[in-house]
Amino acid sequence: MEHKAVSSGAALLSALVFALVAFVHFTSRRNTASGPTPPSLHDPIPFVFNTVQFVFNNEKFMKRATKALERSPVVRFWMGTTPVYLFGGPKHYQAIFASRDLTYNGIMLQIGFPKLWRMTREEIQRFANDKSGHKETPLPGTEHVPPQQRYWATKYHVLYDFLSRKHHIKPIVDEFARQFSRDVVEKFPLGQWTTLSIDELTRRDFTRCAITTLFGPKILELNPDFLDAFWYFDSYASVLVYGFPRWMYPQPFRASDRFLDRIEKYVEAGLKDFDWNGPDVDAQWEPHFGTRITRELTKWLTDAGFQRKSVAGALGTLVFGQNSNTIPVVSWMLMELNKDPQLLSAVRAEVADAFVTDPLTGARTLDTQKVAALPLLQSLFTEILRLRVSMVIMRVADRPMTINGVDVPRGALVHAYSRIAQTDEATWGSPEHPADQFWPERHIKYVEERDPETGTLRKRREFAMAASPACFFPFGGGVPMCPGRHFAKNEIFTMVAILVDRFEMEFVRWTNPDGSPSDRPAESDQRFSGIGSLPPDRDMIVRWKRIR
């Protein structure tokens, strides 16, 4: 496993610079708020300590934030020179996701575009100048903006239509199921036991299959070390996103350069070889770009004159969104199944109904829509997302505003933390199953019904989230909610269903990152706290036998 490298010298230097900048900024800033100011999160070195801890030791920061939110539903702290209002509780989460004055666009302008999409100032300014909104119809007063300058609307259309709409997603998921089945058949000889670690399988084979499905095979053919470059980048993602400028701390940017250089190569080849007037122009999948989302994103940004690096940055963010989050979730699901043979056989029995056997050829295929509705699998998935996803949801206040009586000045950041909401004891806990423990049936309700054939009473499982959905936001919420969430669920369910259906599995042992035996099971790797799914910090060795 890669490690997040943190240079203490860079952190210290950054801290001093921040202190100076924050002091100057703070003393010249007027707070426009008129109501009572929420309590501050203790900051032993004003403007510096919280910022540095948030970036470099987010787990500890989260623990302090959790304690502070137990005393007050909102607390304030500084991220460098910007005030942050951190909210807790369902009422506040709902207000944040529903607010029109709290924007995700501001986060893209400050962080997403410069750090991930790697846009130039001029390119970011184009988005900043566009006030016409994200909808198809421009906001009142902006009807004059030419369609090609409606950057937010185009971004929204490309990402959300091609990643979220059922008719675009279904063929991608079916393609993924086809490739995944083929890959496991090729890798594992029928009837033979093979010993392999979950980490090796998920971060190599499954990631390769996921990337080939979304981006087509060329990206890996042109770059044999693409997976290494991606996981190396992933290990630096949080410090890149929340961290410091390149001159202060260059390693995350170098990791990003290495990753994006490879995507640029793929973009160049695709633009050269794909026939933009040919029969594949509307295809849901073709071998140059893979899916439509990748092709449309490339075409939009290229036609609009964005530099190649920004095109690569947009695609790289998609690779990151796809794998950095789904791969740890699959790993956790496989680990839980291998830890608990009873759970494994219950899931196996449930999944069997989602396979269809062709009476003529005997071919067994997965009904990807049916599998997505299975109650136990949904409960298992929800429980993993609840416990293993740690997202900092961030919005910018576009104007001075009030959230449930709390004044928030213009330009302030508003934060909500998925992990705090999703592990709250009062919300999720039950006497036998505290909120911080994994319980695969937490989101199951048993319904009694009469068997139509035998007339006997039987219990049927139904999926029912254990608490208010307002306290569950692994995919964020409101307009910018993750566009890949349906794809993620389908992709993960497909992998798990095919594996439990085709394989016998046996737990062998836990291992440390260096391969030596571990004396404890995996826990969440908190180095990824605040940035997405938390991967397991230990690996599991499993014996696999393909039975069909």
Give CA torsion, residues 271, 275, 279, 280, to 10 deg: -20
The torsion defined by the Cα of 214, 215, 216 and 220, in degrees rounded to 10, comes to -120
Least Å from the CB of residue 21 to ligand HEM: 27
Residue 482 among known ligand-binding residues: yes
Is 238 one of the binding residues for ligand HEM (CB under 6 A)? no
Q: Considering the complex, what minimum distance in angstroms separates the CB of residue 483 from ligand HEM?
A: 5
The least distance separating ligand HEM from the CB of residue 465, rounded to whole angstroms, comes to 16
Strand partners of residue 103: 396
Q: Nearest distance from residue 31's CB to ligand HEM, in Å?
A: 26
Return the number of the residue (209 or 391) whose C-beta is nearest ligand HEM: 391
**Could you say which residues in the range 500-539 bind ligand HEM, by CB under 6 A?**
532-533
61 binds ligand HEM (CB under 6 A): no
In the block, tokens 């973009």 appear at 267
DSSP annotation of 506 reads E
Dihedral over Cα of 316, 322, 323, 324: its sign: positive
The binder of ligand HEM chosen from 38, 216, 476, 530 (CB under 6 A) = 476
Task: Examine residue 483 and tell whether it contacts ligand HEM (CB under 6 A).
Answer: yes
- Strand-pair category, 82-87 with 413-417: parallel
Stretch of 29-37, 42-50, 146-154, 325-333 contacting ligand HEM, by CB under 6 A: 325-333
Rule CB under 6 A: is residue 495 a binding residue for ligand HEM?
no
Q: How many helices (H) and strands (E) does the chain have?
A: 22, 17
55/79 Cα distance (integer angstroms): 9
**Is there binding between residue 80 and ligand HEM (CB under 6 A)?**
no
Binds ligand HEM by CB under 6 A, chosen from 158, 389, 413, 467: 389
Count of other CB atoms within 10 angstroms of residue 510: 18
Q: Which of residues 393-432 bind ligand HEM (CB under 6 A)?
A: 393
Strand partners, 397: 102
Which residue from 85, 230, 306, 487 is in contact with ligand HEM, where contact means CB under 6 A? 487
Name which position in 106, 313, 440, 474 contacts ligand HEM (CB under 6 A): 474
Residue 88 as a binder of ligand HEM (CB under 6 A): the answer is: no
Stretch that binds ligand HEM, among 19-27, 58-66, 275-283, 478-486 (CB under 6 A): 478-486
Per DSSP, helices labelled H in 353-395 are 368-371, 375-388
Sequence-ordered strand ranges (E) for 4-109: 74-79, 82-87, 102-103
Residue from 235, 298, 326, 368 that binds ligand HEM (CB under 6 A)?
A: 326
Q: How many residues bind ligand HEM (CB under 6 A)?
A: 26
Contact between residue 291 and residue 483 where contact means Cβ atoms under 8 Å apart: no
Q: Which of residues 149-188 bind ligand HEM (CB under 6 A)?
A: 159, 163
- In the complex, least distance from residue 127 CB atom to ligand HEM, rounded to whole angstroms: 11
Q: Which residues pair with 533 in a beta bridge?
A: 389
Indicate left, alpha or beta for 256 from its phi (over 0: left) and psi (-120 to 50: alpha). alpha
Retrieve residue 190's tokens.
């029928």
> Minimum CB separation from ligand HEM for residue 516, in Å?
30
Q: Using the rule CB under 6 A, which residue among 52, 337, 391, 421 binds ligand HEM?
A: 391
| Shortest separation between residue 393's beta carbon and ligand HEM, angstroms | 5
- The residue among 286 and 491 lying less far from ligand HEM, judged by its C-beta, is 491
**Residue 377 binds ligand HEM (CB under 6 A):** no
Name the one range near ligand HEM by CB under 6 A: 44-52, 178-186, 246-254, 484-492.
484-492
Q: How far apart are CA 236 and CA 258, in angstroms?
A: 12
Q: What is the 3-state secondary structure (H, E, C) of 240-304?
A: HHHCCCCCCCCHHHHHHHHHHHHHHHHHHHHHHHCCCCCHHHHCCEECCCEEHHHHHHHHHHHHC
- How is residue 408 annotated by DSSP? E
Tokens 């994103």 locate to 297
Point out which span in 55-63, 224-232, 443-451, 475-483 binds ligand HEM (CB under 6 A).
475-483
At 96, is the secondary structure helix, strand, or coil? helix
Q: Is the dihedral of CA 107, 109, 115, 116 positive or negative?
A: positive
What does the alpha-carbon distance between residue 316 and residue 265 come to, in Å, rounded to a whole number? Answer: 12
H or E segment to which residue 337 belongs:
helix 308-339
Binding mask 284-323 for ligand HEM (x = CB under 6 A): ---------------------------------xx--xx-
Closest distance of CB 417 from ligand HEM, Å: 11
Smallest distance, Å, CB 151 to ligand HEM?
12
Contacting residue, 93, 104, 233, 289, with ligand HEM by CB under 6 A: 104
Name the site residues for ligand HEM (rule: CB under 6 A): 104, 159, 163, 317-318, 321-322, 325-326, 329, 389, 391, 393, 474-477, 480-484, 487-488, 532-533
Annotated binding residues, written as ranges, equal: 482
Annotated binding residues for heme, written as ranges, equal: 482
